[in-house]
């Protein structure tokens, strides 16, 4: 019986040693998980701040784009008006006789 008692004591000691080792490994694993969670939270905060910055920039660029579009439309209207004026002036100029022809006519009549 004495041999079994020593063997049992050795097995109990091995189990206790193994249990402490598992507790230490478990705690280290939990520390790693905590570090990873902290890192993910930090990264998430950085991403959220970047998203906010990009959304702000996007809103500003959208407003600028709308302003430029309205400005371009205004310039297109002005260009069309000027083209219409040029066409009108050309059509009235085509119906007029140049000064040289008027002078020639006046000389031959007089």
What is the domain extent for residue 65? 48-93
Task: Kindly state whether residue 73 falls inside one of the protein's structural domains.
Answer: yes
Q: What is the dihedral of CA 70, 74, 79, 85, to 10 degrees?
A: 160
- For residue range 56-72, what is the model confidence (pLDDT) as tens digits? 999 999 999 999 999 99
Task: Kindly state whether residue 101 falls inside one of the protein's structural domains.
Answer: no
Total number of domains constituting the chain: 1
Task: Kindly state whether residue 53 falls inside one of the protein's structural domains.
Answer: yes
Task: Kindly state whether residue 14 falls inside one of the protein's structural domains.
Answer: no
Residue 1, SS3?
coil
Task: Kindly state whether residue 89 falls inside one of the protein's structural domains.
Answer: yes
Q: CA-CA distance, 72 to 18, in Å (whole number)?
A: 78
Task: Kindly state whether residue 26 falls inside one of the protein's structural domains.
Answer: no
Task: Kindly state whether residue 63 falls inside one of the protein's structural domains.
Answer: yes
**Which tokens belong to 95?**
């119906």
Task: Kindly state whether residue 77 falls inside one of the protein's structural domains.
Answer: yes
pTM for the structure as a whole: 0.47
- For residue range 66-98, what is the model confidence (pLDDT) as tens digits? 999 999 999 999 999 999 998 888 888 767 655
């Amino acid at each position: 019986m004495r041999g079994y008692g020593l063997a049992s004591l050795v097995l109990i000691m091995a189990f206790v040693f193994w249990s402490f080792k598992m507790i230490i490994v478990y705690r280290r694993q939990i520390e790693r998980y905590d570090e990873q969670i902290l890192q993910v939270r930090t990264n998430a905060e950085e991403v959220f701040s970047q998203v906010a910055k990009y959304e702000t920039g996007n809103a500003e660029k959208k407003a600028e784009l709308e302003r430029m579009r309205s400005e371009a439309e205004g310039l297109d209207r002005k260009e069309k008006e000027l083209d219409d004026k040029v066409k009108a002036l050309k059509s009235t100029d085509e119906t007029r006789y140049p000064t040289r022809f008027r002078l020639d006519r006046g000389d031959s009549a007089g």
